[in-house]
Amino acid sequence: MRTYASPEFALLAVGFTMVVGIYVVAMLDHVVGGRVAARPLLWREIVAGPARSAALLIVQRRMTTERTDTPGWMLAPALFAALAATALALVPLGPDLVVADPETGFVVFSAAIAFVMIAVFLHGWSPNSALPLHGAYRYAAQALSFQIPFLLAMLATALPAESLSIVEIVAAQESAWNVVRQPLGLPIYLVVGLAVSFWGPLNLPDGADLAGGTSAEDSGIARLLWQAARAAMLVAIAAMGAAGFLGGWWGPWLSGIVWMLLKTVALLVLLIAAGHLLARVRIERFVVVAWVLLIPLALVNIFVSGAFLL
Amino acid sequence: MSEERLVDVLFWVFAIGSVVTGYRVFRTDSMVRAAFYLLASFAAVGGILVLLGAEFLGMVLILMMAGEMLVMAIVMVMFMMNPAGLNPMWMVHQHRIAVAAGVVAFLAIASLGFLVDFPDQPNARPELATEQLGIELLGDSMLVFQTAGVALLSTMAGVVVLASRRGRYGIADEGSEEPPLQPDEVDLLGEEATP
């Protein structure tokens, strides 16, 4: 029988993780951005800054465009947040400490990632405005390109475990972490992870070159929810990366939860630093790299790790 | 709420949800909305599959449909003279025939639910349903699935070849070229510019 937490505990745990995770992403973004730009960092700004920005967005006046698809526009941030919650619920903090451990955890996680493109497309399509629509089309191209390398890179982690369950994927890394056994997996996963939550160099749908892209027409609480959902998805990507490639709860001296949190924060810092250090990639180039470079590399990764197991 | 009751409630939510969203596909006035309603309908069917114990099949259905419906929406918008699918349009042609065909097909499929003699001894939920499915797919049924896979792949390649032969600037095998950008080289009557 597989592990499932009770609904009350699941809601509480996932909700708490999302709120804390989103706040940590906002703080890290401020700190890393300040470091890169050599700005002076004040504790007051680091700790209270995200709350102040959020409060500002909550009281901001809502703007709207002409003839919108209102249900779709309202649904998009909620769907995105729900997908981030689904992904987070699958990540185990310890051998028995997981909200949901279905037999097909890897497939559920992939389905959540695949539905992000629906949320982003809906978010860009429904305001009935040109720049958001451009962003939506860009993300469609981006998402269809990263989907296959993502699936292949994650699938390779299921091979040593001989299971699609995330808990068993982590449990199978006791002797060696997947980042050692499959050195190509983590880099591919991180590139794709940036693309999934459209962060930094791969923020093509919401980029500044489109005046905010799919969220160009967002204002007030809708903008806050969209940004929060995006940050929550980044946390889910980092946590799943720590579980799938960095050995999850395995590690000497410290307890499993501490290791899991440390690895997640390390990957988060890496992803957020990439956002501040790397220039934005053009969508054409990303599509070509995904199909011509990432898919063959992911296939090599899966063949090599499969051959070692024979 | 007991687990059986929860499964019952979820079944009815998914069942009614899939029928209602399936109906909305034809009643909405936009190609993109129609594609997303169809996606919702498929996702509900995937939920029913998970309830039936076919966890892997249900989740894979949901996973695959996300990409497929998005591609379908974009391709429909590309082929229709309707910028970005933002203009309202009818989603059905030949209304009477469409309604009659829809009702007949629905009744024919729904009647199966009453006519088929379903087994009344509930089977125990298999512990390793996913593993059994994998052994079936790559064991006895491998030839069938590989044949279907190759057939689908060649269909896709063929469709791309057929669709891309005639491009915006002429037929591909006759050498379609973009018109030159310099205004003095463009023939204003719209005939091909001579190099």
Residue identified by tokens 């590690």 is A251
Q: Which of A174, A148, A146, A145 is nearest to A161 (CA)?
A: A174
Considering the entire predicted model, what is its pTM? 0.86
Contacts of A157 (CB under 8 A, 6+ apart): A106, A169, A178, A182, A185, A244, A245
**Which residue among B32, B33, B67 places its CB closest to the CB of A144?**
B67
With beta carbons less than 8 A apart as the criterion, state whether B55 and B47 touch: no
| pLDDT-derived band at B49, boundaries 50, 70, 90 | very high
- Tell me the shortest Cα–Cα distance from B119 to chain A, in angstroms: 26
Q: Is the pLDDT of residue B90 over 80?
A: no
In single-letter form, the type of residue at position A37 comes to A
The rounded distance, in Å, linking the Cα atoms of A232 and A116 is 12
Higher-pLDDT residue of B119, A217? A217
Average pLDDT over residues B94-112: 89
Report chain A residues whose CB lies below 8 A from the CB of B55. Answer: 102-104
Range with the poorest average pLDDT among A39-43, A119-123, B18-22, B32-36: A39-43
Sign of CA dihedral A211, A213, A218, A221: negative
Cβ-defined contact of B63 to A140 (cutoff 8 Å): no
Q: Cβ of A73 under 8 Å from any chain B Cβ?
A: no
For A127, nearest residue in chain B (alpha carbons): B86
- Tell me the shortest Cα–Cα distance from B100 to chain A, in angstroms: 31
Q: Is the pLDDT of residue A284 over 80?
A: yes
Average pLDDT over residues A24-40: 89
DSSP three-state, residue A4: strand
pLDDT digits (tens, 9 = 90+) for A56-109: 988 888 888 888 888 888 999 999 999 999 999 999 988 888 888 888 889 999
Residue B127 DSSP code: T
| pLDDT-derived band at B155, boundaries 50, 70, 90 | very high
Higher-pLDDT residue of B187, A34? A34
Q: Cβ of A125 under 8 Å from any chain B Cβ?
A: yes
The rounded distance, in Å, linking the Cα atoms of A98 and A92 is 4
What pLDDT score does B187 carry?
56
| pLDDT-derived band at A112, boundaries 50, 70, 90 | very high
Cβ-defined contact of B33 to A69 (cutoff 8 Å): yes
Helix residue ranges, H only, chain B: 3-27, 31-51, 55-79, 95-115, 129-137, 142-165
pLDDT digits (tens, 9 = 90+) for A230-272: 999 999 999 999 998 988 888 788 787 889 999 999 999 999 9
What pLDDT score does A229 carry?
94
What pLDDT score does A139 carry?
92
Average pLDDT over residues A269-297: 91
What pLDDT score does A20 carry?
93
Largest CA distance in chain B: 81
Q: Is the pLDDT of residue A307 over 60?
A: yes
For B131, nearest residue in chain A (alpha carbons): A163
Q: Which of A119, A105, A89, A79 is nearest to A15 (CA)?
A: A89
**Partners of residue B166 on adjacent β-strands:** B171
- Tell me the shortest Cα–Cα distance from A141 to chain B, in angstroms: 10
| pLDDT-derived band at B192, boundaries 50, 70, 90 | low
Range with the poorest average pLDDT among A65-74, B61-70, B115-124: B115-124
Average pLDDT over residues A123-145: 90
| pLDDT-derived band at A175, boundaries 50, 70, 90 | confident
Contacts of B106 (CB under 8 A, 6+ apart): none
Q: Is the pLDDT of residue A18 over 80?
A: yes
DSSP three-state, residue A126: coil
Higher-pLDDT residue of B176, A121? A121
Range with the poorest average pLDDT among A101-115, A146-160, B71-85, B181-195: B181-195
Report chain A residues whose CB lies below 8 A from the CB of B57. Answer: none
* ipTM at complex level: 0.88
Q: Checking DSSP bridges between strand B170-171 and strand B166-167, what pairing results, if any?
A: antiparallel
pLDDT > 70: what percent of chain A? 100
What pLDDT score does A177 carry?
85
Cβ-defined contact of A147 to B67 (cutoff 8 Å): yes
Mean pLDDT score across all residues of chain B: 82
Contacts of A286 (CB under 8 A, 6+ apart): A142, A145, A195, A202, A204
What pLDDT score does B186 carry?
54
DSSP three-state, residue B171: strand
With beta carbons less than 8 A apart as the criterion, state whether A240 and A174 touch: no
Higher-pLDDT residue of B83, A267? A267
In single-letter form, the type of residue at position A85 comes to A
DSSP three-state, residue B167: strand
What pLDDT score does B91 carry?
74
The rounded distance, in Å, linking the Cα atoms of B10 and B8 is 5
Q: Is the pLDDT of residue A1 over 60?
A: no
DSSP three-state, residue B29: coil
| pLDDT-derived band at A7, boundaries 50, 70, 90 | confident
Mean pLDDT score across all residues of chain A: 89
A73: left (phi over 0), alpha (psi -120 to 50) or beta: alpha
**Which residue among B36, B67, B73 places its CB closest to the CB of A114?**
B67
The rounded distance, in Å, linking the Cα atoms of A160 and A180 is 13
For A134, nearest residue in chain B (alpha carbons): B84
What b/e sequence results for A30-64 when a residue is b if at least 16 CB atoms lie within 10 Å of its CB, and e otherwise? Answer: bebebeeeeeeeeeebeeeebeeebeebeeeeeee
pLDDT digits (tens, 9 = 90+) for A187-212: 999 999 999 989 888 998 888 888 88
Average pLDDT over residues A3-20: 86
